[in-house]
Structure 1
Amino acid sequence: MDRFFSLCLQGDINSAMEYLSSIQPKTKEIEKLQQRYIERFFSQKPDENILTEDSWIRDVVSAYHNYFRTVLTNADLMNDAELNLNKSLRMHLKIESPLNIDETENELANIFTEKGYYFLGGVTPPFRGAYIWKRTETVNFNVEIPHQSIPVSVHMMSDFILEGWMGYATFNNRSVGGWANEDGLYCNLNRYKDLEDDHFQVSYLKHEAQHLYDYKYFPGLKSYELEYRAKLVELIYSKNHLILEKFLNDAKNDPDFPHPYASFNIIKNLSSIILKKDYEPNINVWLEKDYKKISSAALELFDKNSRELKTVSL
């Protein structure tokens, strides 16, 4: 299902469903998944799984669900969908003044705080969030990234009600693992069952720590530039081809989607260095290469990018 969920994370439920329909023969699990997606995205009574009894919170989350369904099945309607989302949220806030959606979400955050929840609005490119959760616990780490180690505070988030558009698009099989802010890292604890394995230590901790470093020393980088560097760090410290395979599945040549676009550029540049090709999408070709060679090439690309950024900043 990696390819299916990767298409969902590219914001294209229609293509994901076409891919699912093409799988033959279908297992009972695939048939069940297909029905769940039809009920959520293509029925008049969509699936609503909202983990709270608070009616006001349910109404707010439903407004985001409606927005997600629209943009994930017809991205051309994104602007109209955002206007409708803002209108619906203002109605639940009982605000008549024409606040823009960022102002509206600031008001939402205040009410969620009063109700004992955390709320983060804004955009997870190219669509709006939001993220709503109940508990946060802070843990400190010292994280090795290329050429240095940095101390970081990680705010462990749990008991989510809403995990952004990525969570909604994948029934929370995939969602944002966390993010980096000036006050430290935020970690979606739902995504990490073992804090000692590489999924957390490399794909989350080193990835996000690199963001913290880059925010400080290379301010103003675009989202896909930040993701390019952090994903290279994952490849540098990974022990096998698994993360590379994930990047291959996720890759998309579209800068509106920072994570897939960064993956695309990484595969493109690694193909040039290792295979002397423009772009190699076949994982079997990569599996024939000793992973140490891929890791070394990732470090070469990372250092090259750092030199270029330092030259620009001079």
Structure 2
Amino acid sequence: MPNPNRSLLPLCLLVLLLAAPAAFAAEGESTPAAKQAAGASFSAVLQGDGTAALRALATVPTAQYAGTAATYRRCIIERFERATPAALVGEIADPFARAILAAYQDYWWHALIAPTRRDAFSAALLQKLRKLLGTSAASTKEFEALEPILAAQLRKHGYYSLQGETPPLRELMLWHKQETRDYDIVLPEGSEHVTVNLLDDFVSKGWSEYGSCGLGGTGGWTDEKAIFALAPGYPDLQGEDYRVSLLAHEGQHFADKHRTWKLESWELEYRAKLTELALADQISHKLLQAFAQNQSDDLSSPHAYANKRALAAISQRLRTQTTGDIELEKVPLGELRQAARETLIADTHQRDAAISAH
């Protein structure tokens, strides 16, 4: 069971989120402008800005959207272009779990609509949770103290849970079932033994799924000892989405945490994304597309920031062998994988040298 007594960053946020940009791009019915607008809207949601997501969709006439893009547009407008949040707790029989999830969904909605007021909405959520938990949480003043109490209560009511923070928002995931498997993962710089908990029968998959109308969501995360993966997102446990974007990505995190470095969240993601591109075959272009459609200069969105840095670093390495701009999707797979591997190894050498110098 994950340890909620910390500010936790689910480290595989983009695993399931790959599906949405790819779906927009693959459709033949939506116009190119509509596909681009839907992708920009989706990226805005992942960065915690529902208002920007609405603005992006409004740049293209409704008639240009079709298929998945039209469904996404309609849901985003219904969800966020309103005065108050809709009740989306589903058919949860347990009153306590239903009340907790409703409190988080209310917080997610307000934080996504008004990102500059996230801290105030987070404080309001804390107070609401204290009231729902009663005397057991009466003396808590921070989420770090309250969340273990919340997790224990939810477990008594039949739910496994994840709290903490998936930047930029507070997180809540709820599920009923999980099983454990062990793997030895080959990485670009060695191998890593990992334990995976496959989670299933979900009631809540977190704020990113809520904010994206179900087209995206957290694919997994790690704690100090294991990987936690959402089983519904991995129907093929032999496929690259599972082996590369989950096992290798998270395995790289474990390997890096064993080092003497102190890495920021975006630095962990940067190295894990380089590992994905160094190992990917069939999903290589899908990864490139997903990274390109979710880039940011904002460190509070570590995945989007890491995407931009990883793509820029690989492009820079390839540019030493040619001139002009680099279109990564047109680079031969072998060259792309080699560039990603070399970029990761160079990053390792640079960090080791910095440690030795001090």
TM-score, normalised by the number of residues in structure 1: 0.92
Residues 19-76 of structure 1 deviation map (CA, whole Å, 9 limit, x = unaligned): 2233441226544433322332232351514342111111100110011111112111
Shift of 1:143: 0.7
Cross-structure match for 2:54: 17
The one of 98, 118, 131 aligned to 1:58: 98
Change (3 A) 1:98 1:182: closer
Deviations 1:122-174 (A, max 9, x none): 11112111222111100111111113222211011111222222121112321
RMSD: 2.2
1:156-203 residue CA offsets vs partner (Å, 9 max, x unmatched): 111122222212111232111111222211111122111111111101
Asked if 1:274 is matched to 2:318, the reply is yes
Output the CA distance in 2 between the equivalents of 1:47 and 1:27.
27
- Partners in 1 of 2:168 and 2:67 — Cα distance? 33
Flag structure 2 segments of 5+ consecutive residues without an equivalent. 1-19, 22-38
Judge conservation of contact 1:155–1:187 (CA < 8 Å) in 2.
yes
Quote the residue 2:168 is aligned against.
Answer: 126
CA contact (8 A) 1:39 1:45 kept: no
| Residue among 223, 230, 233 paired with 1:191 | 233
Superposed, 1:133-212 pairs within 5 Å as: 133-212=175-254
Q: For residues 195-236 of structure 1, what are the alpha-carbon distances to aligned partners after superposition, in whole Å with 9 as ceiling and x for unaligned?
A: 111111101110001111111114531100000000000000
1:304 matches 2:346: yes
Q: Which has the higher contact order (CA 8 A, sep 6+)?
A: 2
**2: CA distance between counterparts of 1:288 and 1:28?**
28
2:124 is the counterpart of 1:87: no
Q: Which amino acid aligns with 1:304?
A: A
Aligned length: 311
Are residues 1:48 and 2:88 paired?
A: yes
Percent identity, aligned pairs only, is 28
Secondary structure, counterpart of 1:99 in structure 2: coil
Matches within 5 A, 1:286-297: 286-297=328-339
Per the alignment, residue 104 of structure 1 pairs with: 146
Aligned counterpart, 2:306: 262
**Following TM superposition, by how much is the alpha carbon of 1:81 offset from its aligned partner in structure 2, in angstroms?**
0.5
Query: What secondary structure sits across from 1:212 in the alignment?
Result: helix
Gaps of 5+ in 1: none
Q: Residues 179, 45 of structure 1: CA spacing in aligned structure 2 closer, same or farther, 3 A cutoff?
A: closer
CA 1:71 to 1:45, structure 2 compared with 1: closer, same or farther past 3 Å?
closer
Q: TM-score, normalised by structure 2?
A: 0.81
Residues 81-129 of structure 1 show CA distances to partners (whole Å, capped at 9, x for unaligned) of: 0110011111111244353222222211110111121122111112111
